[in-house]
Each structure stands twice: as C-alpha cells, then as structure tokens.
Amino acid sequence: MVASGIDGSIAWLLVAAAALLGLVLSPLAESLIAKRLPRLGGLPTVPVRISTAAITAVLCVAFSLRFGLGFALPAFLFLAILGVQLSRIDIALHLLPNPLVLILLAGGFFLLLMPGLLNMQADDLLRGALGALILFVGYLILGLISPGAIGMGDVKLAAPVGLYLGYLGWSQLLYGGLLGFLLNGVVTLFYLGRKGRKQAAEVPHGPSMIAATAAMALLSA
C-alpha cells in the first residue's frame, strides 16, 4: 500500500495515525472499563497494559493497511480496540462481560451501517446481521449440547463476531467460525502439553474467536 509521492505520504500518515490511535485508546479503554466495571478488579498490571496497547496498535496498523481510507476502517479499528480488551479480560478472568460484548455488537453494527449506506452496499450489512444471528444460534446449540466446552459468554460473543465475519462475506463467516475452534484447539493442546489437563480445560475461547475474526479480515480479498 505504501508508495512514493502523495499516495505514499498519505499511506504513511494513515499507518502512523492508526498506531497512535491504538496506543492512546487502549489505556483509555482500560481506564473506562475499570471505572464502569469495578467487579473486574480494576486496572491490569503495567506489563499487561503495555502488551495490550502494543497488540492494539499492531492490529490498528494492520487494519489501516487492509482497508485504507475506506468507510469500513472505523468499524475494524473499533474491533481491534475492544476485541483486545475482551481477550485480555477473558484470559485473566475467564469472563466476557455482557456490557462490553453488547457495545461491540451495537458499535460494530452502527459503524458498519455507514459504509453500507454511503457505498450503497446494504447487502453487506444485511449479510452481517444474518451472520450475527447464524453464528449466535450455532454457538447457542453447541453451548447447550456441551456447556463445559462453550460458555454463555462465548455464545454472546458469537453475535458481534458473526456480524464482522458476515459483513466480509459468507465464506469468511464459515471459515472464520471454523478457524476460531481450530485456534482454540491448538492453544488447548499447548496447555495440555505444558501445564496439564486441568489448565487445558480452562483455556478461554473468546481470544481465539477474536483472533480468527481479525485473521479473516486481514487475509480475505
């Protein structure tokens, strides 16, 4: 994407702005979460805050390179910021707070509404809404069949994940959904080999869902 001349300058400015946005909004999001949801235990440690800010910045840069100045970019920057926070909380507490999942769903829908209206691509938004419903129902069935493997937090997170994947396309919805399980399986095997069956059984599924969504967004054409 980075090229010489004016286009190259704009590209570098966009990348720099995306990185700065991630570095600034990540700690801001953590502060707001700690203030509004004190039951989560307050702010994380400094190393964790630095790590989440760095990961958020990298994702923001990657999404800016993928979507450029397109109308869909704000929605995926929002996914990067809030998705990393949800992953952090799930890893630390094995919990996906309902307010944050709902904010991701509502905020993602609103931000994806803009490109749908301005680009006259209502089909993408409709597909995203259907994707949210399909993945939510699929996870709900799995959660009811195997409550030990899929928690209700994962079921709820499936709605915003399905929204983003569905917006990208039907194939992204299918492969992104499968990739989430594949990534979680790899992580579970890693924990099984390193820390034993008990720790492997407690591997959170939410981060794999978020990672699969980001991967589909970055790798899809």
Residue-wise pLDDT tens digits, 129-161 = 999 999 999 999 999 998 878 999 999 999 999
Residue 221, pLDDT > 80, answer no
Taking Cα atoms as reference points, which of 59, 56, 65 lies closest to residue 11?
Answer: 65
pLDDT for 170 equals 97
Q: Which helix (H) or strand (E) holds 6?
A: helix 5-36
Angle at 197 between CA 194 and CA 201, to 5 degrees: 110
Each residue's pLDDT tens digit, 168-189: 999 999 999 999 999 999 998 8
Q: What is the pTM of this model?
A: 0.93
Kindly report the average pLDDT of the chain as a whole number: 91
**Contacts with 130 (C-beta within 8 Å, 6 or more apart), sequence order:** 166
Mean pLDDT, to the nearest integer, of 23-49? 97
- Domains contained in the chain, number: 1
Each residue's pLDDT tens digit, 88-103: 999 999 999 999 999 9
- Report long-range pairs for 196-203 (Cβ below 8 Å, ≥24 apart): 201/148, 202/94
Residue 8, pLDDT > 80, answer no
C-alpha 10 chain-centroid distance: 26
Taking Cα atoms as reference points, which of 93, 212, 91, 220 lies closest to residue 160?
Answer: 212
- Report long-range pairs for 179-186 (Cβ below 8 Å, ≥24 apart): 179/212, 179/215, 179/216, 180/205, 180/208, 180/209, 180/211, 180/212, 180/213, 181/208, 182/212, 183/208, 183/211, 183/212, 184/208
Residue 66, pLDDT > 50, answer yes
More confident residue, 6 or 145: 145
Q: How many CA atoms, within 13 angstroms, populate the side-chain half-sphere of residue 22?
A: 27
pLDDT for 23 equals 98
Tokens of 6: 């004016």
Which residues constitute the domain of residue 122?
Answer: 5-219
Q: Percent of the chain beyond pLDDT 70?
A: 92
pLDDT for 194 equals 74
pLDDT for 193 equals 74
